[in-house]
Homo-oligomer: A and B are copies of this chain.
Amino acid sequence: MDLKGLTVKELARLAGVSVRTLHHYDAIGLLRPDARSGAGYRLYGRGQLLRLQQILFFRELEFPLAEIARMLAEPDFDPARALRGHRKTLEDRIGRLHRLLDTLDKTVAHYEGEHMLTEEEMYRGFAPEKITRMKREARERWGNELVEASEQRVRGMTREKWEAVGREGAAVNADLAALLDRDPGDAAVQSVVARHRAWIEHFWKPDADSYRGLGRGYAEDPEFRAFYENVAPGLADFLRRAIDRYCENFPAKEN
Contacts and interface: CB of A to CB of B under 8 A. Distances in A.
A150 interface: no
A98 B49 CA distance: 21
A127 B83 contact: no
A111 interface: yes
Given A15-B126, A119-B49, A123-B56, A97 B90 contact: yes
Interface in A67-126: 79-80, 83-84, 86-87, 90-91, 93-94, 97-98, 100-101, 104-105, 107-108, 111-112, 119-120, 122-123, 126
Given A53-B107, A97-B94, A98-B94, A15 B87 contact: no
A53 B122 contact: yes
A16 interface: yes
Contacts of A80: 108, 111-112
Interface in A106-162: 107-108, 111-112, 119-120, 122-123, 126-129, 133
The prevalent SS among residues of A at the interface is helix
A93 B87 CA distance: 16
Contacts of A49: 119, 122
Given A49-B119, A50-B122, A97-B97, A15 B127 contact: yes
Contacts of A93: 97
A204 B101 CA distance: 28
A129 to B, nearest CB: 7
A14 interface: yes
Contacts of A79: 107, 111
A17 interface: yes
A56 B87 CA distance: 26
Contacts of A253: none
Interface of A: 13-17, 49-50, 53, 56-57, 60, 79-80, 83-84, 86-87, 90-91, 93-94, 97-98, 100-101, 104-105, 107-108, 111-112, 119-120, 122-123, 126-129, 133, 222
